[in-house]
Structure 1
Amino acid sequence: MEVQVRLFATLKDRIGREAISVHVPEGASVADLLQAVAEAYPALHPYLASAVVAVNHEFAFPHDALRPGDEVALFPPVSGGEGNPSRPEIVALTTEPIDLDALVRAVSTPRTGAVAMFTGVVRGEDGARQVQALEYEAYAPMAEAKMRQILAEIRARWPLVQGIALVQRLGRMVVGEVTVAVAVSSSHRHEGIFEAARYGIDRLKEIVPVWKKEIGAHGEVWVEGHYHPSPADVTRRPDAG
C-alpha cells in the first residue's frame, strides 16, 4: 500500500519537501515504514533514528500497525475552544500577536480571584549567538489535540483550577515578541495555579509538535528538543478499534 508521510522542521528542510510517499506491504508496522523511508529517501536516513512518528494525530511506535488511509507525520523531538463557562478552556495556534489582557479575561469567571501566567518571548542572545528572529511552525491538527490533552492532565492534577489557556503563536517573531502563553485561574492563588502554569509550559515543550527556527547572523537553524514520547503520552492508540 502507498503511505503519504508529512514532514516538518528539519526533516522537511533536508529534502525540500513537505510530504513524501512510500510503498509498504499491507499490515506493515511503523518500523517497516521508517525502513522504507530510509531506502527511498537516503537524505533522511541519518535523522530517522531520533524522529518522532505520529499516525492520525497521535504518537506511534515501531510495533504499531499501519492501515490504508492513515495520516502519517515525521518530525524531530518537540522543541481555541468553549466548554463549561465556569471552567473555560482555550487552545489556540495563531499567527497574530497574543493579547495577554484578553487571555486573562478569557480564563476568568465570576469566582476568579487569581490568574497565573507564563509567557515566552524571543530573546536576542542565545549563548554566544545573536538572534534576530524566531520562526515557529506546527503540525496543527496534532498540536491542538495534544494541547487539549494537557488541559485534561492539568485538571486531573489541580481540580481547583477554573480556567486554562494554552496559546502558541506561529510564524516569524522578532526579539521581544511573545511566542507562547499559558494562563491558569482559580479563586485563590494557593489553589495550584502557579504549579499548573509551570506544568502547562513544560508539557507543551514535550508533547506538542511545534518547532522553532532561529534566525541570526549565524544563519538559520532549527532548534530541536530532546524529549521522546513514550506510550504514557498517548491518549488514543492509532490502531484502536
Structure 2
Amino acid sequence: MNDQAKVLFFATLREITGVRETTVDFPRGANIADIKALLLAKYPNLKTSMDIIIMAMNHEFAFDENLVPDGAEIAIFPPVSGGGVDGDRVPTIIAIVEEEIDINGIVGQISSTTTGATCIFSGIVRGLTSRGVHHQTEELEYEAYRAMAESKMHQIATEIRSRWIEVEGIALVQRTGRLVPGMISVIIACSSSHRDCGIFEAARYGIDRLKEIVPIWKKEVSKDGEVWIEGDYFPQRGE
C-alpha cells in the first residue's frame, strides 16, 4: 500500500522542474532519501542540483533518514538568500507582507511605556551590485515558503529572547514580490528599556539568522538577465 505526499518547489528548483507543486506516491516506511530518488526519477534535470538542495517536511527541516508520513507536505529548495504577547512583554511581530513596510508603525507596535530605545535594521534593495562584475539591478523578486518562513521567524525571536533577556519587543518583517532599488525589503527591530540592553547585537543576530534558516529567496533582474541569489548555509539538525 502506497502513501502520498505533496511536494512544493521554490526558486531555482521550481524553474528547473517547471512546476510549483506535485504529488508523489511512495511505499509506507519511505524516508526523505527515498523521496529524493523518486523526484530525481520524475525530474532528471534535478541531478545537477541534488548536492545543494534543502528539504523540509511539514514546515521543519528534514534529513535523509527522516521517515515520511502519509499526507506530508514536503518542500524542496536551495540555500536561502542571503505575534503574540509573551507575559508582560510587548508583542513579537512576525510578518511576511507584499505592501510597503511601515517602519514607524512597527516601532510603535514593539514599544511600551517602559521602552527607552529601539534598534532597527532595514535591508534596502541596491541599485548597484558589486557581486562579481559591477552591474545595475533593475529589481529584485522575493519569494517565500510562507508557512515555514513564519515558523522560523518565530524561532529566531525565541532565540533572541533566550540570549538577550532584557530585549522587550521584537519585529521581523519581510517583504515579498517585486521590489525596485531604494525599497525596504526587510526589517529587524528590537526594543528595550535602554540602549545597553543588547538590542544592537540582537538585531544583528536576527538578520544573520534570517539569512540562514528562513526559506526566502530573491531573484535579481538586470539588463543582462535574471539570476537567483542563493546562500551557502545548510541547516543543522535541530534548526
TM-score (norm 1): 0.94
**1:82 positional shift:** 2.9
In structure 2, the residue matched to 1:13 is 15
Q: CA deviation at 1:218?
A: 1.4
Q: Who is 1:129 aligned against?
A: 135
State how many pairs are aligned.
232
- 1:179 and 2:181 aligned: no
The separation in 2 between residues aligned to 1:48 and 1:25, in whole angstroms, is 22
1:19 positional shift: 1.1
- Rounded to whole Å, the distance in 1 between the matches of 2:236 and 2:220 is 27
Instruction: Name the counterpart of 2:151.
Output: 145
Q: After superposition, give the CA deviation of every residue in 1:196-233 in whole Å (9 maximum; x if it has no partner).
A: 00000000000000000001111111101110001131
Once the two structures are superposed, residues 160-201 of structure 1 have per-residue CA deviations (whole angstroms, 9 ceiling, x without a partner) of 000000000000000000000000000000000000000000
- Does the CA-based 8 Å contact 1:22-1:40 persist in structure 2? no
Letter in 2 for 1:135: E
1:103 is displaced (CA, Å) by 1.0
In the alignment, the residues of structure 1 paired with residue 59 and residue 204 of structure 2 have an alpha-carbon distance, to the nearest angstrom, of 25
List structure 1 runs of 4+ shifted beyond 4 angstroms: none
Q: Distance in 2 between matches of 1:158 and 1:4?
A: 39
User: 2:106 is matched with which residue: 89, 100, 103?
Assistant: 103
How big is the shift at 1:4?
1.9
Alignment-derived partner of residue 225 in structure 2: 219
- Structure 1 counterpart of 2:96, from 86, 93, 96: 93
Structure 2 residue 39 is matched with structure 1 residue 37 = yes
SS of the equivalent of 1:33 reads helix
State the 1:88 CA deviation: 1.4
* Unmatched tracts of structure 2, length 5 or more: none
- Amino-acid identity (%): 50
Q: What is the distance in 1 between the residues matched to 2:14 and 2:222?
A: 20
CA distance, structure 1, for counterparts of residue 30 and residue 221 of structure 2: 39
How far off is 1:111 after superposition? 0.2
Question: What is the Cα deviation at residue 25 of structure 1?
Answer: 1.5
Q: 2:118 aligns with which of 115, 119, 133?
A: 115
Question: Per-residue displacement from partner, 1:96-141 (whole Å, max 9, x unpaired)?
Answer: 0001111111111100000001000000111212101101010000
- 1:37/1:45 contact within 8 Å kept: no
Cα distance in structure 1, aligned partners of 2:237 and 2:191? 30
Q: For residues 212 and 227 of structure 1, what CA distance do their matches in structure 2 show?
A: 15
Q: Distance in 2 between matches of 1:203 and 1:87?
A: 22
C-alpha separation in 2, matches of 1:46 and 1:24: 23
TM-score, normalization: structure 2?
0.95
RMSD (CA atoms): 1.0
What amino acid is the match of 1:72?
A: I
Structure 2 residue identity aligned to 1:74? I
1:145 is paired with a residue whose SS is helix
- Structure 1 contact 98–169 (Cα < 8 Å) conserved: yes
